[in-house]
Structure 1
Amino acid sequence: MIESRPTTPADAETPSRQTLSWHTGDMPYSVEFDDHFYCRTDGRLECGHVFLEGNGLPPRWQDAQMFTIGELGFGTGLNLCETWRRWKLAAKPPGARLAFSSFERFPMQASDIARALSAWSEIEEEREALVAAWPETLAGTVRLDLADDVTLTIVCGPALETVTRAPTVFDAWYLDGFAPSRNPDMWSAELMAAVHDRTAIGGTFATYAAAGFVRRNLQAAGFRVERHPGFAGKREMLRGTRLHAPLEAV
């Protein structure tokens, strides 16, 4: 069963919004990109397998006073909520902080986020806090202090422009745009190079995507790329590490 949210005049005038359809189980579907926002098997478990385990989390938090995560594609906020839940449970230094930044061209509305995340009781507390803090409209860069030790920064706009201008160097990246076949711009050589430039030495990325051109773009950017088994029977996913600082100009 699919339920469409009709486009309103405000939607027509605001290109920053996507048209959503809803599949059975309150699963959001992007009409523009012709793709689901998360794995149909279980998006929360996929987040754990791909993004947390793929980036070596939570173990890397044990010695981190500040840990920064960058994400391409905030979507429903599922990755943020599951990461936050795991952060609460993790061993970490006193006073440690998590700074989560997501680059999103088409932010959802709070009501859609609430509906999309309602399937998981495990993240109910995080979902409610996120929805309560979510502004009615988003533009530019918006910082939300979700807890004393967790901040969320939403950077609105085209990913290549916003990542290139980002002032932060990230310890880990979640590359979670729509499928490469649906939205190739989110996996371009230029954007992967920008992600590499905004990654700390020894920093990592993880993604569910395993398309050949995505792997080649990440390698060309300078990452050491590894293939690993994907989630829920998917053959492969990718993860990798930035090993070196840029060469100094001679």
Structure 2
Amino acid sequence: MSEGTSTNEEQSPESTAFSNDLVLTQDGTHTLYSARFGQWYHSVHGALEESRRVFLELGLAYFREVFPERREVRILEMGFGTGFNALLTLLEAGELSIRYTSLEAYPISPAEYRQLNYDAVMGSGELQALHEAEWNIPVVISPSFMLEKVHAELQAYLKTAKGPFDLVYYDAFAPGSQPELWTPEVFAGIARLLPSGGILTTYSAKGDVRRALQAAGFRVEKHPGPGRKREIVRAIKD
């Protein structure tokens, strides 16, 4: 969920994150603290609760509801971070075929992702495979889930990205930490990759974020957030 300068080692970029602290959130799942950005990767009040509500319920479940005839969904995630959103999506794939593209400029290290307890909590075994998948090429993780991790800044990616995508998980660090990723120009670049009716979900419901999305051509909905978070956003491209 972070952004910065990409490396020239495209196939196996080294971790460029500063030292991150591992903590157990209130729902029993881990999160990391990014010293580089001064932000948690997930809510300390519940990493699973947050990811499930913001991205799975408002995003993937809503896509199924609106497009019940579709059997393939193309997801763009900003950014990969701990891999938890990707893991939850893989586990929820069901009958869908998911093509999952995830951007990350500062990958966490193997020492960090091997400590995360997501597989133990979810009863799964795919987290390490997600993290160890090669960068910048599509990798089949399961028969229903293809992952392409892109080691690049979002702004650079948007200059050449083709799309289309059906659903965007917007999980950049908070606007106060990375304001350059929450602008009308960035959201307009994302909108160009979505068809009419395309969906973007994010945890930030700040007024500046909502106005930036509206300026980029999205219809913005506010929804109740997880835990102590009052509101989160789903945006639909008109």
Q: TM-score, normalised by structure 1?
A: 0.80
Q: Which 5+ residue runs of structure 1 have no aligned equivalent?
A: 1-13, 244-250
Q: Answer 1 or 2: higher relative contact order, Cα 8 Å, separation at least 6.
A: 2
1:32 maps to: 36
On the 8 A contact 1:104/1:156 being kept in 2, the answer is yes
Q: In 2, are the aligned partners of 1:130 and 1:146 still within 8 Å (CA)?
A: yes
**Distance in 2 between the 1:60 and 1:105 partners?**
32
Unaligned runs of 5+ in 2: 1-12, 25-29
Equivalent position amino acid for 1:134 in 2? A
Structure 2 CA distance, aligned partners of 1:108 and 1:197? 29
| Residue 50 (structure 1) shift | 0.8
Cα distance between partner residues in 2 of 1:97 and 1:233 = 33
**Partners in 2 of 1:119 and 1:148 — Cα distance?**
19
Amino acid at match of 2:53: H
Q: Which residue of 1 aligns with 2:17?
A: 18
Inter-CA distance 171–198: structure 2 relative to 1 (3 Å threshold) = same
Instruction: Quote the RMSD (CA, aligned, Å).
Output: 2.1
Q: Secondary structure at the match of 2:115?
A: helix
Go from structure 1 to structure 2 and tell me whether the alpha carbon gap of 1:32 and 1:128 turns closer, same or farther (over 3 Å shift).
closer
CA distance in 1, matches of 2:129, 2:232: 31
Residue 76 (str. 1) matches residue 82 (str. 2): yes
Counterpart selection for 1:216 from 176, 196, 211: 211
1:42 maps to 46
Equivalent residue of 1:63, what SS? coil
* Counterpart AA for 2:203: Y
How far apart are residue 33 of structure 1 and its match? 0.3
Q: Which residue of 2 aligns with 1:238?
A: 233
Aligned residues: 219
Question: Given the alignment of the two structures, is residue 86 of structure 1 paired with residue 92 of structure 2, yes or no?
Answer: yes
Identity percentage over the alignment?
A: 29
**Contact map agreement 1:16 1:105 (CA 8 A) in 2:** no
1:234, 1:65 → 2: CA distance? 32
Cα distance change, pair 134–110 in 1 and its aligned pair in 2 (3 A): farther
State which drifts further: 223-232 or 108-117.
Answer: 108-117
For 1:10, the equivalent position in structure 2 comes to: none
Does 2:160 correspond to 1:161?
Answer: no
- Aligned partner letter, 1:154: K
How many angstroms does 1:145 deviate by?
Answer: 1.2
Mean CA deviation greater in 195-204 or 161-170:
161-170
- Which residue type is aligned with residue 86 of structure 1? E
What is the CA-CA distance between 1:57 and the residue it aligns to?
Answer: 4.7
Q: Is the 8 A contact 2:15 2:109 kept in 1?
A: no
Partner AA of 1:17 in structure 2: T
Equivalences for 1:1-250 in 2 at 5 Å?
17-25=16-24, 27-55=31-59, 56-59=62-65, 62-88=68-94, 92=95, 96-118=96-118, 120-122=120-122, 124-131=124-131, 133-135=132-134, 138=135, 141-243=136-238
CA displacement at 1:105 relative to structure 2 = 1.2
Q: Which has the higher helix share?
A: 1
Contact 2:49 2:227 in 1 (8 A): no
Change in CA separation of 1:97 and 1:118 when aligned onto 2, cut-off 3 Å: closer
Q: Larger deviation: 47-56 or 115-124?
A: 115-124
d(CA) in 2 for partners of 1:103 and 1:147?
Answer: 20
Query: Displacement of 1:103 after TM fit?
Result: 1.5
Conservation of the 8 A alpha-carbon contact between 2:104 and 2:153:
yes
- Please state how far the C-alpha of 1:124 moved relative to its aligned partner: 2.8
CA pair 24-44 structure 1, distance change in 2 beyond 3 A? closer
Cα distance in 2 for partners of 1:16, 1:190 equals 28
Say which is worse superposed, 33-42 or 155-164, in terms of deviation: 155-164
- Partner residue in 2 for 1:9: none
Within 2, Cα distance between the matches of 1:198 and 1:46?
26
